[in-house]
Amino acid sequence: MARIRAETGIDEAMIDALVEGFYAKVREDDFIGPIFAERIDDWGPHLAQMKLFWSSVALSTGVYQGRPMPKHLPLPIDARHFDHWLKLFEATAHELCPPVAAEHFVVRARRIAESLELGVANANGVMVGPGERYRRPETPWAPEVG
């Protein structure tokens, strides 16, 4: 943990700023914001958990004891949502963190997104092969019968 802190400059204050900044963007986002809004009424506990999560992921602190995979499996999300999440996260990391720290966060965020996308695909009965991405089946348009 000390080595990571020394090499990246990441500390709890940086994690707090990243999580707060990122989720401020999420709440304003037209694409993924509604998915969060339908499930989160009180952002305080969610942000607190995400700060613990990123402390564990970025600094190997082990302070997060949750299980993110089961929470994501029932969500109506696919590769497009993970790509958008990553775009917002990467932009926020590069805006708020020094380059070495931003890259440290981004590398881990990409692994997390890939893992969650595979889990969501599997939960929906889809086996994603190497280089493939999960796309939810779209309901074809049909005219309303009146």
CATH 1.10.490.10 fits 1-124, yes or no: yes
Contact at 8 Å (CB) between 119 and 82? no
As a whole number, mean pLDDT of residues 89-99 equals 98
- Distance, in Å, from the CA atom of 111 to the CA atom of 142, rounded to the nearest integer, reads 38
Residue 120 has pLDDT above 70, yes or no: yes
Q: Model confidence at 50, in pLDDT bands (50, 70, 90)?
A: very high
Residue 110 burial (C-beta neighbours within 10 Å; 0-12, 13-18, 19+): middle
As a whole number, mean pLDDT of residues 36-45 equals 95
Comparing CA positions, the residue from 42, 38, 63, 40 lying closest to residue 53 is 63
Give the model's pLDDT for residue 45. Answer: 96
Question: What sign does the dihedral 37-42-47-53 (CA atoms) show?
Answer: negative
Q: Model confidence at 61, in pLDDT bands (50, 70, 90)?
A: very high
Write down the domain spans for the chain. Answer: 1-124
Give the model's pLDDT for residue 36. Answer: 95
Q: Model confidence at 1, in pLDDT bands (50, 70, 90)?
A: confident
Q: What is the pTM of this model?
A: 0.89
